[in-house]
């Protein structure tokens, strides 16, 4: 389910409340735009690099993480309703196809979600938005499982 539809369902969009997503005010906007989305992407990878709970996930990533951090930020920008930076540079994300060369298991999905939930808790102040994003990321991460 696209993030905008999910957010509208979660919040039952009310145009009188500017803290809720609407077609004019996306999760990207509510989070605080580019700086906050970049912070989310970087915190995700900071946590993955240091958390023992994500050691297996970290081990399958090419080092250094600079390029992947930037690509993740670009993906998140568009996915959250901001500028479609990833698509502009690389085309459609085709996430499942891009992850097929890697053995993505339930265990790796859980490690990915551990990192993302910790990053969301640190970066996204709006509780309902944070919960909705976690739910959407969970669906996306489960879709990547290929083993």
Kindly state whether residue 12 falls inside one of the protein's structural domains: no
Kindly state whether residue 7 falls inside one of the protein's structural domains: no
Q: Which residues contact 142 (CB under 8 A, 6 or more apart)?
A: 109
Kindly state whether residue 27 falls inside one of the protein's structural domains: no
Q: How far is CA 37 from CA 12, 15, 33, 120, 130, in A?
A: 24, 23, 6, 10, 13
Task: Encode burial over 92-125: b for 16+ CB neighbours within 10 A, e otherwise.
Answer: ebeeeeeeeeeebeeebbbbbbbbbbbbbeebbe
Kindly state whether residue 104 falls inside one of the protein's structural domains: yes
pLDDT, mean of residues 130-135: 97
pLDDT tens string 83-116: 999 999 999 999 999 999 999 999 999 999 999 9
Kindly state whether residue 38 falls inside one of the protein's structural domains: yes
Domain range enclosing 42: 32-143
Kindly state whether residue 114 falls inside one of the protein's structural domains: yes
pLDDT tens string 38-96: 999 999 999 999 999 999 999 999 999 999 999 999 999 999 999 999 999 999 999 99
* CB-CB contact of 119 with 134 (8 Å): no
How many structural domains is the chain composed of? 1
Kindly state whether residue 2 falls inside one of the protein's structural domains: no
User: 56: domain CATH number?
Assistant: 1.10.490.10
């Amino acid at each position: 389910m696209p993030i905008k539809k999910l957010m509208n369902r979660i919040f039952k969009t009310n145009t009188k409340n500017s803290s809720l997503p609407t077609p004019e005010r996306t999760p990207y906007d509510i989070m605080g735009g580019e700086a906050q989305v970049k912070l989310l992407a970087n915190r995700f990878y900071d946590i993955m690099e240091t958390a023992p709970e994500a050691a297996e996930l970290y081990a399958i990533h090419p080092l250094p993480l600079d390029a992947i951090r930037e690509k993740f930020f670009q993906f998140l920008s568009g996915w959250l309703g901001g500028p479609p930076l990833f698509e502009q540079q690389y085309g459609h994300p085709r996430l499942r196809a891009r992850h097929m060369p890697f053995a993505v298991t339930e265990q790796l999905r859980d490690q990915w979600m551990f990192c993302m939930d910790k990053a969301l808790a640190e970066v996204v102040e709006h509780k309902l938005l944070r919960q909705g994003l976690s739910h959407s990321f969970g669906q996306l991460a489960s879709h990547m499982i290929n083993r």
